[in-house]
Amino acid sequence: MSLFKKVKNTIRLLKSVDMDQLAKINEKIDLADAMKSLGELDERQLAGLMKMLKTKRRKGQHDLPPIDGDFYNLDLKLTEQQREIQMKVRNFMEEEIRPLVNEYWKKDQFPFEIIEKFKKIDIVGVPYEGYGCPNLPFLMEGIIAQELARVDVSVSTFFGVHSGLAMGSIYLCGSEEQKQEWLPKMQKLEKIGAFGLTEPNVGSGVAGGLETTCKFDGENWILNGQKKWIGNATFADVTIIWARDLDSNRVKGFLVKKENPGFKTEKIKDKMALRIVQNAIITLKDCKVPESDRLQNANSFKDTANVLRMTRAAVAWQAVGCSRGAYESALKYTKKREQFGRPIASFQLIQDHLVEMLSNLTSMQTLCFRLSEMQDQGMLTDEHASLAKVYCSMRMRDIVSRAREVMGGNGILLEYDVARFVADAEAIYSYEGTKEINSLIVGRAITGYSAFIS
């Protein structure tokens, strides 16, 4: 190209350029680098770039609101410290856990590398006082359970079994020596705990008679029986085992170490839910446990019930987290997925499903928030916790079902996460008391009549 043509083209280019706009662009990007990068593009790449730049946003695609399942802004009720913890857990789950859960879920394996990562965020034993625990309100335990389950229910369950059920049993029922021995190590995740209550033949009827027995022989307690569905049990350092004393017929609790003679675990395979959680069948055959490892303040099933009452609120929060994860995943999908030339989020029937999901989610959140406030105020009863478990687990089922529905066929693929939430919701629906049992607890409280079979 001749010098004259170059000058002529440059003058024409300068006349067509809005210098004010160019100055604004130069404030945001390095124009020299941008020009160099553009010059390195081939014709196909330049054509694609120009097509993207010329494409106008479709109606309804501008200034889209953020995806946030906290529609009533309950986070504003948290203190600055509590909000910081919530966001720390959320960022941890998004950055460290989300990238790996689907792969481990498919393999039916536990990602042991996350234990070291969990140590760094220091959220174990949140509501306990002393022993290295944070001593924060029960509300924060609920918020943490929600944030964990929002990404993966299995990881939330691993955490809840260890920090809630196992540590809670020692905190409420252990002697001071037992607390000093176990709680600091468990808080730091140096030792992992499990909780053995449910049995192959005894689920909801544990209050009426455990088949696992214990008998003191003058030197050791001898435990015999089986436990089923025990999360973390395949690798836990200590498992809280609840057994019926053959002499007194009372329920007692024991700290059973994995190396105890007569203690055996077998992984439960082929689950459709909570596939990351390593559930096991525990067989106790003349398992010897010294008196020093009997929970000194666990003398009846009422003591076991105190542990379950304390942790049941967190299970309701888990249902909230599972529901929020499904809702937010579905909402994100509907904004990107296009049919008939526009995002399906702009369709009336899709919006109806989304609003139903959000309505249920918001009612669950507000119920659980109040439940945790009552727990922190010492007002929590069995029926309060049971009502939350009943309602939240039912609404959760509806939410995950609608989330799968708005995603169509893609809703059954793991890559979109909702399929995992649908499956894991079934486990939340059943554990820590079925709908029927929790309904009867609430029914007894409001009518004054017990409908339990005696």
212: left (phi over 0), alpha (psi -120 to 50) or beta: beta
Of residues 43 and 1, more confidence is placed in 43
Supply the Cα-derived Rg of the chain in whole angstroms: 28
Q: Residue 214 in contact with residue 246, Cβ under 8 Å?
A: yes
Please report which confidence band the pLDDT of residue 432 belongs to, taking 50, 70 and 90 as the band edges: confident
Look at residue 251 and give its three-state secondary structure.
strand
SS3 state at 65 = coil
pLDDT over threshold 50, residue 51? yes
Residue 365 · residue 72 · CB < 8 Å: yes
Q: What is the pLDDT of residues 353-397, one digit of tens each?
A: 999 999 999 999 999 999 999 999 999 999 999 999 999 999 999
Summarised one tens digit per residue, pLDDT across range 71-114 is 999 999 999 999 999 999 999 999 999 999 999 999 999 999 99
Q: Do the Cβ atoms of 372 and 139 come closer than 8 Å?
A: yes
The beta-strand segments (E) located in 258-336 are 263-267, 280-290
Does residue 1 surpass a pLDDT of 70? no
How far apart, in Å, are the Cα atoms of 304 and each of 82, 147, 168, 371?
Answer: 30, 27, 10, 20
pLDDT score, position 60: 47
Between CA 215 and CA 286 the distance in angstroms is: 10
Give the Cα separation of 215 and 224 in Å (integer): 9
d(CA 377, CA 391): 22
Spatial distance between the Cα atoms of 255 and 308, rounded to a whole number of angstroms: 17
Q: Report CA torsion sign: 411, 413, 417, 420.
A: positive
The C-alpha atoms of residue 408 and residue 421 are separated, in whole angstroms, by: 15
Interval 434-442 mean pLDDT: 90
* Better pLDDT: 36 or 106: 106
Sign, CA torsion 88/89/93/97 = positive
Both tokens assigned to 96: 């460290």
Torsion of CA 115, 116, 122, 125, to 10 degrees: 30
Label residue 127 exposed, middle or buried (CB < 10 Å: 0-12, 13-18, 19+). Answer: buried
Q: What is the pLDDT of residues 136-173, one digit of tens each?
A: 999 999 999 999 999 999 999 999 999 999 999 999 99
Q: What is the DSSP string of 11-61?
A: HHHHHHS-HHHHHHHHHHS-HHHHHHHHHT--HHHHHHHHHHHHPPPPTT-
**Whole-Å CA distances, 320 to 152, 364, 368, 369:** 12, 6, 8, 11
| 3-class SS shares of the chain: helix, strand, coil, % to 5 | 60, 15, 30
- In SS3 terms, 290-306 reads as EHHHECCCCCCHHHHHH
Per-residue model confidence as pLDDT tens digits over 52-75: 565 555 554 567 899 999 999 999
| pLDDT interval class at 453 (50, 70, 90) | confident
Q: Are 314 and 142 in contact (CB under 8 A)?
A: yes
pTM: 0.84
CA-closest candidate to residue 284, choices 225, 213, 196: 225
Q: How confident is the model at residue 310 (pLDDT cuts 50, 70, 90)?
A: confident
Q: Is the pLDDT of residue 194 over 90?
A: yes
Rounded CA-CA distance 249/432 in Å is: 23
Strands (E), 273-385: 280-290, 338-339, 342-343
Any residues with CB less than 8 A from the CB of 17 and at least 6 apart, and which? Answer: none
Distance CA 256, CA 226 (A): 13
Tell me the average pLDDT of the chain: 90
Geometric angle at alpha carbon 349, from 345 and 354, rounded to 5°: 60
